[in-house]
A = this chain, B = another copy of it.
């Protein structure tokens, strides 16, 4: 297939590299000229295997006709990308973002395009403009926003690879909700307390706060809290030594994805129903402002 990947972050580079290894014809669409140049000169380098994949890089404004477009930009950049892609002739889209803040955008786009919500469970760290390290293997899950499950199965089968498996899910909301629970509990706590994922269940008090966050999230999303807590605990154990993306963002002074995660839940529910989620939402916003030196006193 002719596949365009929008976004040159860790997820974009990882996905581009693997799909290229599967003999797809891959183009990466980026925002900055320097990244376009570096990828075109050096290809995408995938660590730790140390393989190079020769993909084409173009500016986001130069989008060509593709058989599939995979949007990998951070959730808070989805709206910018939407301006570029909404005008394209009909093409299938896959969205790979954390959180649920981009649901409205996906729904709007699905009026004229096939749209698949995606969840990527891999770990990846961008080393430089054209190099990405694959730090944890997982699944890419896809689900049709239009309930075209057979299309999702066909697409998953088409792009699945031995080192980069893709599966189709029936329910896009349930799939995103499952991921949101994980992110709503682990990400803000690891960022606020500067701890690895394991401490979220390993520290007695963080464990109690985490349970509260899990309960609140399940209340908003109408999920079974006991089952979800087992999932959260399991992920914390399996990734005990990992540093969450939000922790890294806070420590680097970068913008976090809190708006699409806890912020989405705060928008959906009254504060009295989810006070712990409201607290961590404001806390991460406070840390973002502090790192920028914002103050309004």
Which of B205, B279, B285 touches A286 (beta carbons < 8 Å)? B205
The smallest beta-carbon distance between A292 and chain B, in angstroms, is 10
User: How far is it, in angstroms, between the C-alpha of A275 and the C-alpha of B199 when the chains are bound?
Assistant: 22
B209 contacts A294, C-beta separation under 8 Å: no
How many A residues, CB 8 Å from partner?
A: 30
The smallest beta-carbon distance between A284 and chain B, in angstroms, is 9
- A194-218 to B contact mask, C-beta < 8 Å, 1/0: 0100110111111111000000000
Q: What residues on B are CB-neighbors of A192 within 8 Å?
A: 192, 283
- A268-281 to B contact mask, C-beta < 8 Å, 1/0: 00000001100100
A286 contacts B193, C-beta separation under 8 Å: yes
Assuming the A-B contacts A209-B279, A279-B276, are A202 and B286 also in contact, with contact meaning beta carbons closer than 8 angstroms in the complex?
no
Q: Is A49 an interface residue (CB 8 A)?
A: no
A282 contacts B198, C-beta separation under 8 Å: no
A193 contacts B297, C-beta separation under 8 Å: no
User: How far is it, in angstroms, between the C-alpha of A205 and the C-alpha of B193 when the chains are bound?
Assistant: 17
Q: What residues on B are CB-neighbors of A195 within 8 Å?
A: 290
The smallest beta-carbon distance between A90 and chain B, in angstroms, is 42
The smallest beta-carbon distance between A3 and chain B, in angstroms, is 40
Q: Is A289 an interface residue (CB 8 A)?
A: yes
User: How far is it, in angstroms, between the C-alpha of A54 and the C-alpha of B205 when the chains are bound?
Assistant: 46
Assuming the A-B contacts A198-B297, A297-B198, are A203 and B286 also in contact, with contact meaning beta carbons closer than 8 angstroms in the complex?
yes
B289 contacts A204, C-beta separation under 8 Å: yes
A residues sitting closer than 8 Å to B (CB atoms) are 192-193, 195, 198-199, 201-209, 237, 240, 275-276, 279, 282-283, 285-287, 289-290, 294-297
